[in-house]
Chain A
Amino acid sequence: MTGVKWLAEMVETAPAPIDSDTPYRQWETLVSDAIASTLELAGTTRDSLYEMGFHSLYGGGWWSQNE
């Protein structure tokens, strides 16, 4: 990581930022949003499965017959 530090110092002496509304940056944002949405969906699906699993395990059925 020493090389990264050296590179970062070099980059900071000659920054070349571009506007955030250029098409390439917009594509980048779109791709990022798509990745985030996919992960969001995976999280929501996982949470729904947790909920389903929890209620299948403890919500009644076997338990109510054996309690």
Chain B
Amino acid sequence: MSSDTWDCHSTPTSWPFDLAAYQLDLWQRGVRYLDTLRERANNMLEHERAGKPPLLDFDYETILDGRRLEGPANYALLRVTRVGDDCLEDCFDETRPPVVIVDPRAGHGPGIGGFKRDSEVGMALHEGHPVYFVIFFPEPVPGQTLEDVLHVLRRFVETVAERHPGQPPVLYGNCQAGWAIALLCADCEGLVGPAVLNGSPLSYWSGESGVNPMRLAGGLLGGAWLTHLLADLGDGRFDGAHLATNFESLKPANTLWQKDYQLFADIDGQRERFLDFERWWTGFYALSKEEITAIVENLFVGNQLERGELQVCPGCTIDLRRIRNPLVIFASSGDNITPPHQALNWIPAVYPSTEALKAADQRIVYLLNPHVGHLGIFVSSKVARLEHRAILESVGELNDMAPGLYEMRIDNPTGDPDCHKPQFQVHFEERRVEDLDYPDQAPAFDRVRALSEHNVALYETFVGPWVRFYTTPWSAEALRQLHPARTSRLMLSERFSPG
């Protein structure tokens, strides 16, 4: 190396000292990095021991426990009662409708919508709405079905509507909770106000070639039989750690290197943020076999929602055309889990033309972020302060809009923290359904569906009974504890590596 390289920082004689200083810094960062991983493992154990409570940064009271209802499901309705500062009293506006936020049940626990002050919960409180939050518990009620979940969610919506007469609640669904909300809207005509679907897939076969590989997994693995096997090995429960691992495998660069290096490089700045996020990310929740197989077979592999073929109970088929409340669809081009294709492509499948949408008297608004990733849609403070606040600010206008498809544009954020003043100029530009033109790959996915049905039948006939016969609660628990998503983290806890 030439001495020129050292001009700014070192003299030719000082480099041994600089090198020594760097080595000391490297070692200190290494120690603190390992210590952070140790603390993450301890947090994980502590969180499990505490029963994995929801990670909401707000005080709350439980209004209704879905486990005690007829047709029970492991959900509960909470009302957010207090936020650390006095914002709740200052901003509360009794003319505002209640907001019901539903978190996704996709392997992790609830709380991501209210993880910190600058979140969906925080913004809804700031805009003066009474805020309700739907949580779920770590273990499903044995045999719990999608039908049970939907009935319990419907009961929650009815309860909130009763508590705020004349103000149909705004439903706010994150990721997988979005389709649950869409089903609810189709089933609860007149009971609910506008629904906001954040990064929610409704059109499961859509995506960009080479960019969204997750939709192909069902085909490459031969369909839903593997889900049946994993649920059987789990003694009727599907471990959320499988889903978390699936997400992590999407971006190997981030999972295997960048996430850890960012922590290592800026241990002082990143430590708390890392530990807070990991407390949520490593809290794995289970689904019942009935739920996960219905989701995978009917939605992911079957794509039955946009086709109007989804049967949640005998005789009740979900038809998205029955949704009458305005919908806001928030998606991001940077989201590789729910790309805009999956969030929007159901619209032309359900309403073949703009005229059909208008004739159905429906209003659909979409909002696109150009780059934020999937989790950023719910977690990012910047997104909460801009997009979520703008959505909540303009939610009242949606009922008065003429039927049609609109793109929501947000301009000129004022930066004014006063909750009584509008923050943005929001306008809605009319769009045509025909312009939502994503490539159709249905024939290939139809073949996957057919193969999946065969494979599931074969599995359930010849393999499943034996797997269920030999699986015991002990073997299921052992497999759960030995899942790499747990062992790779817990091995760094003092409980497992005391020395």
Contact = CB atoms under 8 A, between A and B. Distances in A.
Interface string B1-45: 000011001100000001101101110100110110010010000
B209 interface: yes
B50 interface: no
A16 B19 CA distance: 13
Interface string A1-41: 11111011001100111111111110011001001110110
Contacts, number: 115
Nearest to B264: A32
B494 interface: yes
B78 interface: no
B9 A22 contact: yes
B28 A50 contact: no
Given A23-B9, A51-B216, A12 B32 contact: yes
A47 B208 CA distance: 11
B22 A58 contact: no
A39 B219 contact: no
Contacts of B498: 1-2
B19 A5 contact: no
Interface stretch (B90-98, B130-138, B440-448): B440-448
Given A36-B253, A57-B219, A58-B448, A2 B22 contact: no
B257 A36 contact: yes
A5 B494 contact: yes
Contact of B220 (A40, A43, A54): A54
Contact of B497 (A1, A11, A35, A40): A1
Interface string B115-146: 00000000000000000000000000000000
B492 interface: yes
A14 B449 CA distance: 61
A8 B492 contact: no
Contacts of B213: 46-47, 50-51
Given A4-B35, A5-B38, A55-B444, A17 B499 contact: no
A43 B253 contact: yes
Nearest to B208: A51
B332 interface: no
A22 B38 contact: no
A51 B5 contact: no
B88 to A, nearest CB: 37
A17 B25 CA distance: 5
A1 B25 contact: no
B251 interface: yes
A16 B21 CA distance: 8
Nearest to A17: B25
A7 B30 CA distance: 11
B38 A32 contact: no
A50 to B, nearest CB: 5
A22 B216 contact: no
Query: Which of B5, B32, B448 lies at the interface centre, i.e. has the most chain A CB atoms within 10 A of its CB?
Result: B32
A18 B492 contact: no
Given A25-B22, A51-B216, A54-B216, A7 B31 contact: yes
Contacts of A16: 21, 24-25, 28
Contact of B31 (A8, A44, A55): A8
A35 B266 CA distance: 18
B447 A63 contact: yes
B493 interface: yes
Contacts of A46: 213, 252
Contacts of A37: 253
B5 A23 contact: yes
Contacts of B10: 23
Interface in B136-164: none
Nearest to A38: B253
Contact of B22 (A8, A18, A35): A18
A59 to B, nearest CB: 5
B256 A39 contact: yes
5 contacts: A23-B10, A47-B210, A51-B216, A59-B444, A63-B447
Given A48-B210, A60-B443, 10 more contacts: A1-B38, A4-B38, A8-B35, A18-B18, A23-B9, A24-B22, A25-B22, A29-B265, A50-B216, A63-B447
Interface of A: 1-5, 7-8, 11-12, 15-25, 28-29, 32, 35-37, 39-40, 42-44, 46-48, 50-51, 53-55, 57-60, 63
